[in-house]
Amino acid sequence: MGTLPALKVFEEEISQLKKQVEGIRKKMKAAGPGPASADILNRYVGKRVAFALRNGQEVAATLVEHDRYNCLVETGDGQMVLLKHAIDTVKPLE
């Protein structure tokens, strides 16, 4: 028994959607990460900032450096690494 006509139409649509998604993924990968996050944090390197964390804590510290996933900060108690996914907001204290 052959494929039902309606099923064949859906299979063709799914195939087209998969091609579109793959094209979008390639464009996003080629573009790389957006500059917005890095540019914003670069403004605060060497400055006192308040990090509001997802667990409700607030950390007041000097931002020493950051990479794609972490922020190295200096507090009165020493250095600390904050994971970016745990940060809700960043605001300047100076």
The 3 state secondary structure assigned to the chain is CCCCHHHHHHHHHHHHHHHHHHHHHHHHHHHCCCHHHHHHHHHHECCEEEEEECCCCEEEEEEEEECCCEEEEEECCEEEEEEHHHEEEEEECC
Higher per-residue pLDDT: 3 or 89: 89
Confidence at residue 24, expressed as pLDDT on a 0 to 100 scale: 87
pLDDT at position 6: 80
Q: In what order do the strands lie in the sheet with 70-75?
A: 78-83, 70-75, 58-66, 48-53, 87-92
List residues bridging with 27 in a β-sheet. none
Q: Is the pLDDT of residue 84 over 90?
A: yes
Residue 4, pLDDT above cutoff 90: no
35-76 pLDDT per residue, tens: 666 678 999 999 999 999 999 999 999 999 999 899 999 999
Can you give the pLDDT at residue 35? 60
pLDDT in tens, 11-38: 999 999 999 999 888 887 777 666 666 6
